[in-house]
């Protein structure tokens, strides 16, 4: 007699398996989410626009907390619809030590429901994935970029 299979739903809600994707990083190298699983938790933060004021605050807050994340074996990844060249400039200008991914066509934003209510622009939303790729936390706050880092640290400590 075999145990019943537990079915995992794929989607952007807490408890679901995070949708897999491949995007180019700031150095125009492909990064696939599935290749990062099994190594530790992952913080995916979606932000509207590189170098905009709130996005810069958020990105720099993740930079400033980077050691806290890396000490916990957590991979931090930022995603926006900026092209890789803009991501590269943003990373260099603010000395961002983590990967930035370019979702120019918005496919991953759609997969993760990271658009505003009317779909007119990208939302500021952060996902915490466990080492198996299950979404453990979702946080959205358009105006308080630094709060995303505080939320992420609290959830990572609880995993």
Helix (H, G, I), strand (E, B) or coil at 75: strand
For the question of residue 60 being annotated catalytic, the response is no
H helices present in the chain, as ranges: 53-64, 66-71, 84-93, 107-111, 145-158
Q: Where are the domains of the chain?
A: 22-143
Nearest one of 91, 107, 95 to 19, comparing CA atoms = 107
What is the chain's mean pLDDT, rounded? 90
* pTM beyond cutoff 0.75: yes
Which of 23, 55, 59, 77 is catalytic? The answer is: 55
Residue range 79-124, pLDDT digits in tens = 999 999 999 999 999 999 999 999 999 999 999 988 765 666 778 9
32 DSSP β-pair partners: 22
DSSP structural state of residue 65:
T
* pLDDT at 118 (0 to 100): 62
Identify the band that residue 1 occupies on the pLDDT scale cut at 50, 70 and 90. very low
Residue range 34-88, pLDDT digits in tens = 999 999 999 999 999 999 999 999 999 999 999 999 999 999 999 999 999 999 9
CATH 3.40.50.2300 fits domain 22-143: no
Query: In sequence order, which residues have a C-beta less than 8 Å from that of residue 47 and are 6 or more positions away?
Result: 55, 58, 59, 78, 79, 80, 122, 124, 145
* pLDDT at 60 (0 to 100): 97
């Amino acid at each position: 007699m075999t145990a019943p299979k537990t079915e995992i739903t794929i989607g952007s809600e807490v408890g679901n398996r995070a949708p897999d994707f491949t995007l180019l990083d700031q150095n125009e190298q492909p990064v696939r989410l599935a290749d990062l699983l099994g190594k530790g938790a992952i913080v995916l933060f979606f932000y509207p626009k590189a170098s905009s004021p709130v996005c810069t605050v958020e990105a720099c807050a993740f930079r400033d907390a980077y050691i806290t994340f890396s000490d916990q074996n957590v991979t931090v990844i930022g995603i926006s619809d900026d092209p890789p060249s803009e991501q590269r400039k943003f990373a260099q200008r603010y000395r961002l030590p983590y990967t930035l991914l370019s979702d120019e066509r918005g496919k991953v934003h759609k997969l993760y429901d990271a658009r505003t209510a009317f779909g007119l622009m990208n939302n500021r939303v952060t996902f915490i994935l466990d080492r198996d790729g299950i979404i453990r936390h979702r946080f959205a706050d358009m105006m308080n970029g630094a709060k995303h880092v505080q939320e992420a640290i609290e959830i990572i400590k609880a995993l």
